[in-house]
Amino acid sequence: DLYLSLFLWAEQKVVFITARVHPGETPSSFVCQGIIDFLVSQHPIAKVLRDHLVFKIAPMLNPDGVYLGNYRCSLMGFDLNRHWANPSPWAHPTLHGVKQLIIEMYNNPKINLEFYIDIHAHSTMMNGFMYGNIFEDEERFQRQAVFPKLLCQNAEDFSYSSTSFNRDAVKAGTGRRFLGGLLNDTSYCYTLEVSFYSYVLGGPSSAVPYTEEAYMKLGRNVARTFLDYYRLNSLVERPLAPTPKTRIHLCSEKITIIPPNSKFPMKCIWANWNISFGFQLLIAQLNIVYILQWKSQFQIGKGGS
């Protein structure tokens, strides 16, 4: 049975990743490949992630469009990333199948679908960055900012300053927007964008052209960031060393991180958590503080998703 492994446990935490819904966005395949290669490797972090999480990955949502060499559309001329609300099993079969699987997991009380990440490539912006959703719930909004902030610490080519949260009407049929409205408030849905061209490091340095290896490295860093996230949430307690490289120049925005099942607001949150001293140092490096003006992070962004 396809779902047997998910039903055997009291609760499975699931991360669902998709890519290449737009066939011309080839960098997304390399990022996704980096995630897959890392997760199936013998790296200690990968082993911990496999012990605690279930990863569901659909690396190519638009295979017909890829085969035909289309830039954005499917075989029948549809932009699949505008049809999540009501995909047709005839016209949008891959989307329909993935959506049905997500709904089955969502309706299963033994499964907690915590992340949905849809990987794209952007034709005008530099670096990697994310789009997230806007929520009226202040606590949920601030929780949503945690993962991209942690990713910014791990990946030199990821820019939190380019990350934005929106409810743009033209994006209503995208996976991020639709699933963000469908799933419960413990689930977080993102579009991960990466530039077709280059990334810019902090300071006056010139742009660095992306290579296939650089895209796959971003994928590996995405996978590594799940360990940091779940350490913050006390799911992972194994004493692994924190990611050795931390970055500040593209991650200067400050955020609040709120632990699960806590009452909002909280001004000091990490000191009482049952986590390793090494990771407490990592949190200190992130310079996590309480933000009174959290709504100032709302941006309406345009992108390739």
- CATH number for 81: 3.40.630.10
CA angle 114, 17, 175 (to 5 degrees): 85
Q: Cβ distance 58 to 94 under 8 Å?
A: yes
Q: Whose CA is closest to 280, among 245, 228, 235?
A: 228
Active site (catalytic) residues: 193
> Who contacts 292 (Cβ-Cβ below 8 Å, separation ≥6)?
none
Bridge partners of residue 219, in order along the sequence: none
Decide if 280 is inside a domain. Answer: yes
Decide if 142 is inside a domain. Answer: yes
> Who contacts 72 (Cβ-Cβ below 8 Å, separation ≥6)?
22, 23, 24, 65, 79
Alpha-carbon distance of 177 to 167, in angstroms, equals 7
> Who contacts 274 (Cβ-Cβ below 8 Å, separation ≥6)?
234, 237
Give the pLDDT score at 234.
67
Decide if 4 is inside a domain. Answer: no
Give the pLDDT score at 104.
96
Alpha-carbon distance of 245 to 251, in angstroms, equals 13
Residue 222 structural domain: 10-297
Bridge partners of residue 19, in order along the sequence: 119
Amino acid, single-letter form, for residue 96:
H
| Spans of the chain below 70 pLDDT | 1-10, 203-205, 234-304
Decide if 138 is inside a domain. Answer: yes
Give the pLDDT score at 168.
76
What is the tally of structural domains in the chain? 1
Decide if 83 is inside a domain. Answer: yes
Decide if 303 is inside a domain. Answer: no
Bridge partners of residue 194, in order along the sequence: 121, 128
Give the pLDDT score at 273.
33
Decide if 302 is inside a domain. Answer: no
Q: 212-232 and 277-286 helices cross at what angle (nearest 10)?
A: 110
Give the pLDDT score at 165.
92
Give the pLDDT score at 10.
58
Q: Whose CA is closest to 171, among 72, 83, 77?
A: 83
DSSP letter for each residue of 39-92: HTS--HHHHHHHHH-EEEEES-S-HHHHHHT-SS--TTS--GGG-SSS--TTTS
Q: Cβ distance 276 to 98 under 8 Å?
A: no
